[in-house]
Amino acid sequence: MAATELDVVLDRDSPVPLYHQIAEQLSAAIHDGRLESGDAFENEIALATRLSVSRPTIRRAIQEMVDRGLLVRRRGLGTHVANRKVHREAVLSSLWDDLDAAGRSPRTEVLDLERAVDPRAAAMLDLPPETELLSLTRVRFAGDDPLALLHNWLPPASGEIGRDELERAGLYAALRSRGVRPSVARQSIGARMPTAAERKALHMRAGQPVLTMTRVAFDAGGTAIELGEHAYRAEDYTIDLMVDER
């Protein structure tokens, strides 16, 4: 697919560097939909020639857009517009609800749903090691794009949750329908290279990292109601944090 040539107006008398003017105008084209996810991006030489600027100027503009997560460079494939990232605040929310609110057409594929004994998961849920838990593994899609591999464990008190129910809406919606409401969670976030199963489920190439999140959610009474261990495609996912001075 040929790259779209977009109009860029440069003010060469402005104190704003040319590379930044270029990056800002081309970024705006991505944000307003003139350039969409997966579109080929004009190559450095063609863009430099068309705008009558140096290749280092174009290279710096493109790098600024790569650093913002708007473009991806792949050896042998060139530069393309990145998939839209999912931005989530570090609050107790459902990925399904966040995608739905953003108009990202969430979809779930259930890979595994079974009763199982897992002493490690039971301990994290403050349950005896021999407790039989509901273990469920799902792939969450944003449209047709796989975004996250979700593995959760639920205590017996959560009741039966079926495959169809999990594919219609998020896990938290299923819990709320049973009167189980998450109130607070203990959560840790990390990054690592994916396992073979994660790479396959998320359609990832070798060398791409995953963002990980481990969460234990509790109801208002302090009872643990779910353990989640999730892996996200790092290039498509961002967690936003608000921090203040102590």
pLDDT tens-digit readout, 14-58: 989 999 999 999 988 887 778 887 788 888 899 999 999 999 999
Is 86's pLDDT higher than 60? no
pLDDT, position 185? 87
Structure tokens at 163: 């495959």
- Nearest 5°: CA angle at 166, between 160 and 169? 125
The rounded percent of the chain whose pLDDT value lies above 70 is: 90
How do residues 107-122 score in pLDDT, each as one tens digit?
999 999 999 999 999 9
CA dist 61 and 16 (Å) reads: 13
The closest alpha carbon to 14, from 6, 5, 24, belongs to 24
- Locate CATH 3.40.1410.10 in the chain: 86-240
Exposed, middle or buried: residue 152 (CB in 10 Å: 0-12, 13-18, 19+)? buried
Q: Which CATH class is domain 86-240?
A: alpha beta
C-beta separation of 237 from 210 below 8 A: no
Residue, of 90 and 221, whose pLDDT is higher: 221
Is 245's pLDDT higher than 80? no
pLDDT, position 91? 53
Out of 53-57, 85-89, 180-184, give the one with best mean pLDDT.
53-57
Distances (CA, A) of 134 to 113, 162, 196: 7, 11, 24
pLDDT, position 130? 96
CATH architecture of 18-81: Orthogonal Bundle (1.10)
- Locate CATH 1.10.10.10 in the chain: 18-81
pLDDT, position 207? 84
